[in-house]
Amino acid sequence: MRWPIFLLTAALLHTAHTADPSDAAPDIAQLSVLASQAANASLLWGTYRPNLYFGTRPRLPESLMTGLMWFNADTIEGYKNIRHACDQGDNLAGYGYHKHDGRSFAMQRIRDEHNNVVITTEFIKVPGGKHGGEWGVRIKGKPDSEGVPTTAVLFYVGVEGDGGIDLMNKLDKQGLLSPVKFEGDTPDLGDFSIQIVDGKKMRMYMVSYIRIVILNLPSPSGLLNNVPESNPLDVDLSRTHFWGTPVSDGDIWRAKDFVAEHIVNSANAKISQYEQEDITAGINALFTLNNVVRDEDAANFYVVQKVYRGAFQFDVFFRSDSASTHIDAQTFTSRLDASSAAFDARFERTFGLDAKGYNAEQVEFARYLLSNLIGGIGYAAVSSRLLILLCFGFCISVFVYKVGLVGLYKFKHNSYFYGSSIVDHAAAEYEESGEPQLTAPKLTSPGILFTATPSRPFFPRGFYWDEGFHQLLIGQWDNDLSLDIIKYWVTLIDEDGWVAREQILGAEARSKVPAEFQTQYPHYANPPTLLMAIRAFIDRLDASSGHHHDHPNSPISAGQQYAFAAFDDQTLLPDHHLLNPGLGMAYLEAIYPKLRLNWEWFRRTQKGEVKEWGRKARSREAYRWRGRTPEHTLTSGLDDYPRANPPNIAELHLDLISWMGFSTRLLKSIASRLGEAYEDDVSEYDKVERNILNNIEDLHWSEKNGMYCDVSIDVNDDSVHICHKGYLTLFPFLLGHLPPDHPHLEALFDLIRDEEELWSAFGLRSLTKSDPFYGTGEVYWRGPVWINVNYMALASLYKNYVNQPGPYQEKAKNIYKELRENVIGNVYKEYRRTGYVWEQYSPLTGEGQRSHPFTGWTSLILLIMAEKY
């Protein structure tokens, strides 16, 4: 059952769709009103705290935040390992969303082997009222293996900003009886209530009790030294323990710290009553919340705790007073079943994997790829608080140079993002050839971002070039959700045309990134992959409106405007409604000015030197990444891939000129669709594109090495090629710059297919075996297999060579088929073996390496399975 508003919207869209676009204007105007309501309804609430195992928040800067925690309560050590933010150090045997539709339904499974519990979080959102509907989450647990574990499960709710929340049950020192009820209000959510309800089927076990001999133990550390023996004591497990307290706005992300501290203090308080005496106490009774609300009037943060033996289940319901009927266990259960079936059907409709002959386990894996990517979507918002300056401008390069990224991975990184980021505007003059200067970083004006993330435990933040890859997949699933995310990113492009590579927004995110890495520089770039996602959108638009790629113009009719403001939900329609030709074009027109600014920024700030050092080029179109160090070019995205050393201002970078060729072509295609007003832009792009293609050949092709290379100078200041066979070499091919009969294509295919070079049984390796840098240093982009580049290779093969006649078509077909099988086979095998998908894969053994789960661009495996490029 869809929301009534959707039905109405769909009906209107149907009219708009079938009518001549020029007389559809009135419908479109009505549409945008409906659309904004629909968008609020379907995207306001979500699992937008992806760094947590489970948490919800609305897409509002300050509002109601919720989260889940748990720990094992069989031993006194348990509370020290409270699970809250996703953390690789927790060593879970796999976790993530197995189904997530991005709007109304999500199902996650978490295997906490160490604590002998498998936790399931099922999330359902239902329409109703004026504030994004209502939602519920069902938290279930069962033992992972033999035994009957005692698990303490905590759920918290907290309000930041204006408004408040109160516990409605009669306070009871023994704990509360189900259901636990809260009432609250905020300016954007209106009046709401929250209920925490015991599951009907929940069986109450008595705890196994433990005798503790207390010998004057004032501190928790002392307490921990005294391992207890077993002995019974009465504890009422049917009670829900609770604690309420005021916390400052912007501090709820610290929930686990607050809870851990509280639990230790309350355990100590309990113990101190029995000083010097033999007492018995249940561990669970010791490590429970103290059933007190501190400062009832001011309290805005509440935690409830349940202690279970063995399997358990409870529900949390968020209800809006503005809705006429409310979510309860029954509606939840029936929706859950229906949503799950609907998800499966839509998944098959979208990706057709059953039809392609994949078996049930492979389809389950594919659903995980999509779902955990969507479950990684987060919302980061402004904070108006004053924040402290943390870093001096030069440290990023110095630190990266000295320590390298290997060291970085040791830092715990499980933050969420919220607020401003640090930008160093004074560093614009910094040049690689000179000494880095001490500069004056500033916090930007507060930012806001709705984005997918590379990895929930490790990089739960927005990364510019990762995001374009994410949106290739999300766009196939939910066109409008993807366009909305793209809109937020495009909004972040500033008036100079710059956007920071990594979005470390706010205190929580910053707290987990070493100070040296927080500053973002306004002359540092990152590949403009968002344009790949926008191209995919244009392809969908063409397909849905029956237009073809080369169709020159599709003018926007009067009244079709995509309201493009920073934070508004205007005209965002659920699912695929921006594929309506008029609205789709209006969207393109709305984002175009920022895209052009960004393109101009690239041409201005990343310009390479062509006139000197005896170079022969037909135009100025040459490029150089700024922000290099001897070992790294973080800005390129290919971090430690070998380049000229030492870095110097004479360099020209092959990947960057290839990206520029790609972006120029795409902007040309957008501008030509937007109509006459953009004709001048079109001819400019046309000229620049031709110059770029010429310079890729003139400057970057090395006849001597038979490959495309970076360019630099030698000790005599003569221009030379810097050649390291690997991903870099492939860029003109990856980005579609080589027509099927191009004379350099064969050499490139041979490099790809050669087992002594790039070919491995697990996908293309980033650097050839034969390169002196292969497997050296951090071994990050010096050998391991990365799925984003393998995807680009497969996509290019498929679109440009497998399905186009040409002298190497047969070769392309074979490479395509084998490469596709290799990458799918290996990522799948590793998922089955480890419970995770990974940041990269070993070229020797195929084993997953580094961050996990990494359902960022590794999830492109799904598009490879579906052959949707």
Q: Which of 410, 599, 626 is nearest to 493 (CA)?
A: 599
Structure tokens at 370: 């999509």
Q: How far is the CB of 790 from ligand 6A9 (least distance, A)?
A: 14
Q: How far is the CB of 856 from ligand 6A9 (least distance, A)?
A: 6
Q: How far is the CB of 781 from ligand 6A9 (least distance, A)?
A: 6
For residue 393, give Cα distances in angstroms to 433, 520, 844.
16, 9, 39
For residue 635, give Cα distances in angstroms to 188, 435, 521, 525.
39, 19, 10, 5
Structure tokens at 724: 């390291």
Q: How far is the CB of 461 from ligand 6A9 (least distance, A)?
A: 9
Q: Which of 631, 186, 683 is nearest to 406 (CA)?
A: 631
Looking at residue 438, the DSSP 8-state letter turns out to be P
Active site residues: 639, 839
Is 790 in contact with 764 (CB distance < 8 Å)?
yes
Tokens 């103290």 correspond to: 290
Q: How far is the CB of 50 from ligand 6A9 (least distance, A)?
A: 14
Which residue, 527 or 732, has its beta carbon nearer to ligand 6A9? 527
Which residue, 241 or 413, has its beta carbon nearer to ligand 6A9? 413
Q: How far is the CB of 655 from ligand 6A9 (least distance, A)?
A: 12
Beta bridge partners of 807: none
Which residue, 459 or 564, has its beta carbon nearer to ligand 6A9? 459
Which residue, 774 or 780, has its beta carbon nearer to ligand 6A9? 780
CB atoms within 10 A of CB 241: 22
Which residue, 320 or 790, has its beta carbon nearer to ligand 6A9? 790
Structure tokens at 692: 């770029």
List contacts with ligand 6A9 (CB under 6 A): 408, 411, 413, 454, 459, 463, 465-466, 513-514, 517, 637, 639, 856
Q: How far is the CB of 453 from ligand 6A9 (least distance, A)?
A: 9
Give one DSSP letter per residue of 704-758, joined into a string.
TTTEE-EEEE-TTS-EEEE---BGGGGHHHHTT-S-TT-TTHHHHHHHHH-TTTT
Is 360 in contact with 828 (CB distance < 8 Å)?
no
Give one DSSP letter per residue of 349-416, joined into a string.
HHH-TTTTT--HHHHHHHHHHHHHHHTT-EEE----S-------TTHHHHHHHHHHHHHHTTS-----
Structure tokens at 297: 């009037």
Query: CB neighbours of 311 closer than 8 A, spacing ≥ 6?
Result: 140, 141, 142, 143, 202, 203
Is 220 in contact with 271 (CB distance < 8 Å)?
no
Tokens 């009907």 correspond to: 200
Q: How far is the CB of 454 from ligand 6A9 (least distance, A)?
A: 4
Which residue, 241 or 852, has its beta carbon nearer to ligand 6A9? 852
Give one DSSP letter per residue of 483-526, joined into a string.
HHHHHHHHHHS-TTS---SEE--HHHHHHTS-GGGT-B-TT---
Q: How far is the CB of 445 from ligand 6A9 (least distance, A)?
A: 23
Structure tokens at 582: 């008029």
Residue type (1 letter), 241 = H
Residue type (1 letter), 485 = I
Is 467 in contact with 413 (CB distance < 8 Å)?
no
Residues 496, 583: Cα–Cα separation, whole Å:
28
Which residue, 156 or 517, has its beta carbon nearer to ligand 6A9? 517
Which residue, 404 or 582, has its beta carbon nearer to ligand 6A9? 404
